[in-house]
Structure 1
Amino acid sequence: MFDCMDKPIIERKASVKPMPIFRYCTTPNHYDIPFPDWSFWGWSEINIGPWEEEFRSIKQGSQKQSWSKKYPYAYWKGNPDVDSPIREALLQCNDTTQWGALIMRQEIQHGFKQSKLSAQCNHRKYKIYAEGYAWSVSLKYILLCGCVPLIINPKYDDFFSRGLFPKKDYLPISPENICPSIKTAVKWGNAHPAQVSFHISS
């Protein structure tokens, strides 16, 4: 059975054996089986094309400027109004001097015209991933961006994210101390460019 709602529902502690449920995400406490979400086929409402197109576009955009020449701070752009305490807390980190981060709301009222994914990879050394109501489709684009991924410790896994390892594939950010944690990661990365380079997609 396929269920296209956001959050997993088949708990592992259930006393009755459940039927297999495929869903966009799962957690260690759920039996839901993750499968690719709709955005791989495109999301026209927010100007996202199919994965094959976005892959090429983001890859080309990420290579326009070398990592060493990008601005030395972290970047996040998205919708905080999705019942996500993590994203609401992230808004408080919008200070490149104090926290090393530029945090922006997506321009919903302007039809997402300035939200081209490839353009978001050109200028900053670090890209932040923050879950929304559940998992977020943005992770695959962030990992492709040619930036160091800063992932606020997630609750949910999609079909590929369980294969990612903190401090190997990304730098972890504490959900309890988001702003100081971002600052620490950015400061460390800027001071250790050779060590941080393995976090960057190529």
Structure 2
Amino acid sequence: MHGKLYVEKYKKAIQTRDVFTLWGILQLLRMYPAKVHDLDCDDRPVISKERFQGSNAPTPPLLRYCSDQWNLDIVFPDWSFWGWAEINIKAWKHVLKEIKEGNEKTKWKDRVPYAYWKGNPFVTPTRKDLMKCNVTEKDDWNTHLYIQDWDQESSQGYKKSNLGDQCTHRYVI
């Protein structure tokens, strides 16, 4: 309230994700003093549209990492992806340099003419639905979708998660 940050931990965060989230929230407070609403730093949305439909009660603004068409949570950035040591994500200036270098390795006309996505589909129903659009023997939606298993990636030395190496497709989801 009034440009101040009050933190209450309800459960342990994944690795140091909470540290980066707090850093991001502090940036928001610095840029928009007294204008940042309540935040709940978790992946899954909680403010159901159904609960507030037809109600005169004001919808509480709640910022979270994810939302979908059934909920009213407001998505805000996951700042941990601008540097998260435990999952080998480097600081943004290094990632940007790697992406630019990766982008120059393959000419546009030589890239796979498919959309590319890699992530954890198990955090929201919309991501699970996205996986239905992957190439199969029966259907070809011009998408290559990959599940990112961070535990496996960690045990194998993060060889398949470098964003600079993912500039092989024409489109990114």
Short-chain TM bin: 0.5 to 0.7
Q: Is 2:42 the counterpart of 1:5?
A: yes
Task: Give the 3-state SS of the residue equivalent to 2:105 in structure 1.
Answer: coil
1:116 maps onto 2:162 in alignment: yes
* 46 and 56 in structure 1: CA distance in 2 versus 1, 3 angstrom threshold: same
* Residue correspondences, number: 125
Q: How does 1:1-202 map to 2 (within 5 A)?
A: 1-6=38-43, 7-9=45-47, 11=49, 13=53, 14-26=55-67, 32-82=73-123, 84=125, 85-91=128-134, 93-94=135-136, 99=140, 100-108=142-150, 109-111=152-154, 112-121=158-167, 123-127=168-172, 129=173
1:45 CA drift (Å)? 3.1
Change (3 A) 1:89 1:20: closer
What's the RMSD between the two structures over aligned residues? 3.3
The structure showing larger relative contact order (alpha-carbon pairs under 8 Å, at least 6 residues apart) is: 1
Structure 2 distance, partners of 1:18, 1:10, is 10
The structure with the larger Rg is: 2
In 1, Cα distance between the equivalents of 2:79 and 2:97? 18
- Cα pair distance change 1:76/1:68, threshold 3 Å: same
Identity %: 38
Unaligned runs of 5+ in 1: 130-202
Q: CA deviation at 1:19?
A: 4.6
Check the 8 A contact 2:120/2:147 in 1, yes or no.
yes
Give distance in 1, aligned partners of 2:59 and 2:83: 32
- The 2-side partners of 1:102 and 1:52 are apart by 27
